Structure 1
Amino acid sequence: MDSSKPSKSVRLLNVIEEKGNKLPHPITIFMIFTLIVIALSHIFYVMGTGVRFEGVHPETRQIEMLTVKAVSLLVPEGIAYMFSNVVANFTSFVALGPVLVAMLGVGVAEKSGYISALMTNTVTKAPKKFVTPIVVLMGVLSNVAASVGYVVLVPLGAIIFLGFKRHPLAGLSAAFAGVAGGYSANLFLGTNDPLLSGITTEAAHILDVGYVVNPTDNWFFMFVSTFLIVIIGTLVTDKLIEPKLGTYVPSEPLEHENKISALEKRGLFWANLSILFTVIVIALLIAPENGVLRGEGGSIIKSPFMSSIIFIMMLIFLVPGVVYGFMTKSIRNDKDIANLMTSSLETMSGFIVLIFFAAQFVALFNYTNLGTIIAVKGADFLQSIHLDGAPLLVALIMITTIINLFIAADSAKWAIMAPVFVPMFMQMGIAPEVTQVAYRVGDSATNIISPLMPFFPLVVAFAQRYGKKNGVGTVISLMLPYSIIILISWTIFFIIWYVFGIPVGPGANLNY
């Protein structure tokens, strides 16, 4: 038997990589889907397709029997709508504004060096027995700043393990498991939360135009999930991955610098102090019963505080980023701050272009009523086969894990899936916030084994620093145990959470 011949699992992953690479760009996919919607809208319009269901009337906000029929985009009114609403569809897309506002702060914190220094300082100070959980935890937390975890923490994890005379690939795997496998978990809100909640809100409007999903509506579940991911990541690294790797013997002496300078330490001190000051100021606006940011009757759930959560999130990153920058001289004046903000938005250019096409697809999908028709008929089918509740959510998780192997961009994936699954599950009595959680669990679990994930080649390049033969197969073989165990454990955890009726976020209901 030829020992050099790849195993069946590796050959399967190679096929997935090959086929996935042949998929069009997400923008092209949205254009194709938009053309399909245009064609189907006219076909179903001519056929007189429609549904009758119990729903929320868009004007009276009362629950009553509604009749909805397919609307064609190829009749004069439909063509006029497509041409005249392009700009409005884009600028009114819920996910656009919150993400760009949040990135103004996150970008300054990242590009001033604050986030990188904070993660390096935290991990390098960890006691030896806590190194693995700290690396995984910092990987999860790094997701508040978009892609910084892939660029900074994944290679840092390898360096830290090497410094403790442990195998660097084990450290790389632990960090990658936290960053990508725990992508949706976090103790704090990240740029992903307003993005996904915005898309979910747009999808919910197919059935209920007044429904709003807030960025905080998954926070309870994601907060607790952070500890689950840390436990899984630690056990898999220490009990499975590191023993499999054995002792690392470098082919040549390696010199790594994983410490921060005295200047950076001073910058961190004052930057962290500025976060505390910012939080205290915000708390003073919320804590009193008649606080400025409280809502009617002293409510916190429905209040100016919840409405301003994105701006607050921006401040919590912007303030320490600026303070750190001035202390370390990476920022010298107001022009540097403006340049860092500009630079952070430049990195979002691909996202902005993608959102333009996603917004057109979602808007036309809503206009044609195809989403409502699919949702009602899909819900009727699921009821006929007696699939609802927990089994339905598990099915969505499994579907997401498969799609995730071929479409890596989570925003593009959810923009395609949400208009179908969110209203369909609403018809089954499942709240959009819960549907979004199921999607996030499935999306995160297979990130670490998807060769099409944008940062996967970067992780492979990091792995090759510790062995020229390390490649895609190496990284996938290391990450597969994490993926399988995270998927199974997180799904079970989510179902237990759902069955016990625990809210997934502040003010978020489980049932619609």
Structure 2
Amino acid sequence: MVESSIKTKKENKKGLGGFLDWVERVGNRMPHPAAIFVILSIIIIFISDICARTGVHVQFTMVDKVNLETKLTDVKAVSLLTADGIRYIFTNAVKNFTSFAPLGTVLVAMLGVGMAEETGLIQALLRKTVMSTPKQLITAIVVLLGVMSNIASDAGYIVLIPLGALVFLGFGRHPIAGMAAAFAGVSGGFSANLLIGTTDPLLGGITTEAAKLIDASYKVEPTANWYFMFVSTFLITAIGTFVTDKIVEPRLGAYKNASSEDMTQLTDEEKKGLKYSGIGFLIFLIFILALVVPYNGILRDANHKIIGHTPFMDGIVPIISLFFFIPGVFYGIASGGIKNNKDVANSLSKSMSKMGGYLVLVFFASQFVAYFGHTNLGTILAVKGADFLKSTGLTGIPLIILFILVSAFINLFMGSASAKWAIMAPVFVPMFMAIGFSPEFTQAAFRVGDSCTNIITPLMSYFALIVSFAEKYDEDAGIGTLISTMLPYSVLFLIGWSCLLILWFCLGLPLGPGAGIFM
């Protein structure tokens, strides 16, 4: 009977592994995201010529936001294979790259985050928070810290996931359950957060570029989805805790070697560093408050507002950067990692050296987005798509659900959120604008779908690393093990998060400061 049970279990794993092998083969045959943008750019060049030669154009009515008057607009396809089009490709290549909205915002933000990561501040903060948590709250805190860790980009994958295993092990619980809880928060809840992180200005910049296809003056702020993502953090934490405690850990059973490892304590240097980083943060906070709180504060606009197109909001990216940079420097000095200004420069250089792949991706993505806009294909497709959706009656909640599912499905085969959104935004943002949805709402719906399936696709860049972590505690663990463990999180995140967005839609709540659901 026991042998039969074991055999069945192995057969089940083999069957699931066969499906995952198929997914992996399909994914491995896909080109690199940078290559995808090159291919798409070439396709756009030829399609633009065909559309221009056949006289493709659209007429639509839009509202002039300055005069608040409607006007009829006629947009024609522009070819990139004419003499003017070829000149545009060559003369605007550098401009397309340097003016691409996400480029500067991410690089500036990563200066500060990189400093905090290189000095060890982020890792120490994660460990201290987890170590000081009561046993009954440990699952929730691990998931919550996973969600919060996306502020520091990939730090959560490298630090928090193996730490989650150690924490659970120290409490006599199954370490793979701890890994799963951390992984669910870090990757499944990637878009949610209590704070504004590097993902917000990145996606907001791409959305801004896409919205300009319809309204050249439109700007999506980094805080565009803050209210929704703030509440989403608690939802993801609650769902992640429930799945870990009620589904994943009971399925894994008791761990035989639960007393073999202990949690790693902070060193005296790390404790001193955290103390001084707190002082640095307090100094910076007082400085920012002095610029914002007074009625005539320097970072307020001419009407004394803080939120909106104000110096404070326009400067949110360098503020985020300094939010991490200053405490990071204080931590490094106190812990001994920084001894002079050369160490500061070296830490910044190391953090920025990791952005090489991002720069390559952005160069080709920026050309694709620029071509899409210059040829007017984005506007034409948006208007035609909006007309089609209107003719089918597919609007409101059914449209939202379908878009979330499409985003989640595409995420199974293309891991980079920025790469996906750079492709999808020029199509869906104008399309949704044409039927009355704001770019901020479209962006929020994409973030829901994009995050939920991160944890079940072998194409996610850190997936192999997580499998290797699991093998430390179960030598038979593989891709099938990880997928079967994470699938309940993915499904319930997708259902729960979609329901929250639909509730938000029904109540007409603002998504962020000055960002509504409708145009």
TM-score (normalised: structure 2): 0.96
- Partner in structure 2 of residue 108 of structure 1: 115
- Partner in structure 2 of residue 267 of structure 1: 273
Deviations along 1:262-304, whole A, 9 cap, x unmatched?
A: 2211110110222122112211211122111111221112311
Q: CA deviation at 1:394?
A: 1.2
Equivalent of 1:376 in 383, 389, 399: 383
- Partner in structure 2 of residue 39 of structure 1: 46
Matched, 1:490 2:497: yes
CA RMSD, Structure 1 to Structure 2 (Å): 1.5
- Partner in structure 2 of residue 413 of structure 1: 420
> Alignment partner of 2:11: what SS?
coil
Structure 2 CA distance for partners of 1:62 and 1:72, relative to 1, 3 Å: farther
Q: CA deviation at 1:488?
A: 0.1
Separation (CA, whole Å) in 1 of partners of 2:373 and 2:93:
14
Separation (CA, whole Å) in 2 of partners of 1:227 and 1:273:
28
Q: CA deviation at 1:12?
A: 2.6
Separation (CA, whole Å) in 1 of partners of 2:178 and 2:430:
42
Partner amino acid, structure 1, of 2:174: H
Equivalent of 1:297 in 298, 303, 312: 303
Deviations along 1:334-390, whole A, 9 cap, x unmatched?
A: 111111111111101100110000000000110000000100000000000111122
Matched, 1:131 2:157: no
Separation (CA, whole Å) in 1 of partners of 2:230 and 2:222:
13
> Alignment partner of 2:296: what SS?
coil
Separation (CA, whole Å) in 1 of partners of 2:66 and 2:96:
21
Deviations along 1:100-145, whole A, 9 cap, x unmatched?
A: 0000000000010000000001101101101001101111111000
- Partner in structure 1 of residue 513 of structure 2: 506
Separation (CA, whole Å) in 2 of partners of 1:70 and 1:192:
33
> Alignment partner of 1:298: what SS?
coil
- Partner in structure 2 of residue 477 of structure 1: 484
Separation (CA, whole Å) in 2 of partners of 1:501 and 1:13:
40
Structure 2 CA distance for partners of 1:358 and 1:59, relative to 1, 3 Å: farther
- Partner in structure 2 of residue 280 of structure 1: 286
Q: What does residue range 298-313 of structure 1 map to in structure 2 within 5 Å?
A: 298-302=304-308, 303-313=310-320
Structure 2 CA distance for partners of 1:45 and 1:58, relative to 1, 3 Å: farther
Separation (CA, whole Å) in 2 of partners of 1:79 and 1:60:
36
Partner amino acid, structure 2, of 1:282: I
> Alignment partner of 1:95: what SS?
helix
Equivalent of 1:193 in 179, 197, 200: 200
> Alignment partner of 2:113: what SS?
helix
Task: Please tell me whether the aligned partners of residues 167 and 263 of structure 2 are also in contact (alpha carbons under 8 angstroms).
Answer: no
Separation (CA, whole Å) in 2 of partners of 1:212 and 1:288:
26
Partner amino acid, structure 2, of 1:293: L
Separation (CA, whole Å) in 2 of partners of 1:17 and 1:322:
42
Separation (CA, whole Å) in 2 of partners of 1:338 and 1:176:
32
Task: Please tell me whether the aligned partners of residues 170 and 263 of structure 2 are also in contact (alpha carbons under 8 angstroms).
Answer: no
Equivalent of 1:222 in 198, 216, 229: 229
- Partner in structure 2 of residue 236 of structure 1: 243
Equivalent of 1:65 in 64, 68, 72: 72
Equivalent of 1:78 in 77, 82, 85: 85
Task: Please tell me whether the aligned partners of residues 56 and 208 of structure 1 are also in contact (alpha carbons under 8 angstroms).
Answer: no
- Partner in structure 2 of residue 202 of structure 1: 209
> Alignment partner of 2:303: what SS?
helix
Task: Please tell me whether the aligned partners of residues 389 and 430 of structure 1 are also in contact (alpha carbons under 8 angstroms).
Answer: no
- Partner in structure 2 of residue 456 of structure 1: 463
Separation (CA, whole Å) in 1 of partners of 2:68 and 2:35:
37
- Partner in structure 1 of residue 256 of structure 2: 249
Partner amino acid, structure 1, of 2:449: G
Task: Please tell me whether the aligned partners of residues 218 and 437 of structure 1 are also in contact (alpha carbons under 8 angstroms).
Answer: yes
Separation (CA, whole Å) in 2 of partners of 1:59 and 1:233:
46
Q: CA deviation at 1:56?
A: 5.0
Equivalent of 1:174 in 181, 184, 201: 181
Per mean C-alpha deviation after superposition, the further-off stretch among 206-215 and 382-391 is 382-391
> Alignment partner of 1:201: what SS?
helix
Task: Please tell me whether the aligned partners of residues 281 and 323 of structure 2 are also in contact (alpha carbons under 8 angstroms).
Answer: yes
Partner amino acid, structure 2, of 1:27: A
Partner amino acid, structure 2, of 1:138: L
- Over the matched positions of the two proteins, sequence identity in percent amounts to 53
Deviations along 1:392-420, whole A, 9 cap, x unmatched?
A: 12111000111000001111111010000
Task: Please tell me whether the aligned partners of residues 184 and 441 of structure 1 are also in contact (alpha carbons under 8 angstroms).
Answer: yes
Equivalent of 1:149 in 148, 156, 162: 156
Q: Count residues in correspondence.
A: 511
Separation (CA, whole Å) in 2 of partners of 1:184 and 1:329:
34
Task: Please tell me whether the aligned partners of residues 144 and 190 of structure 1 are also in contact (alpha carbons under 8 angstroms).
Answer: yes
> Alignment partner of 2:75: what SS?
strand
Separation (CA, whole Å) in 2 of partners of 1:389 and 1:107:
41
Q: CA deviation at 1:61?
A: 8.3
Partner amino acid, structure 1, of 2:298: V
- Partner in structure 1 of residue 103 of structure 2: 96
Separation (CA, whole Å) in 2 of partners of 1:465 and 1:163:
15
Task: Please tell me whether the aligned partners of residues 405 and 449 of structure 2 are also in contact (alpha carbons under 8 angstroms).
Answer: yes
Deviations along 1:172-227, whole A, 9 cap, x unmatched?
A: 00000000011000011111111100100000011111000011111111111100
Separation (CA, whole Å) in 1 of partners of 2:316 and 2:106:
12
Task: Please tell me whether the aligned partners of residues 232 and 485 of structure 1 are also in contact (alpha carbons under 8 angstroms).
Answer: yes
> Alignment partner of 1:65: what SS?
strand
List alignment gaps of at least 5 residues for structure 1. none
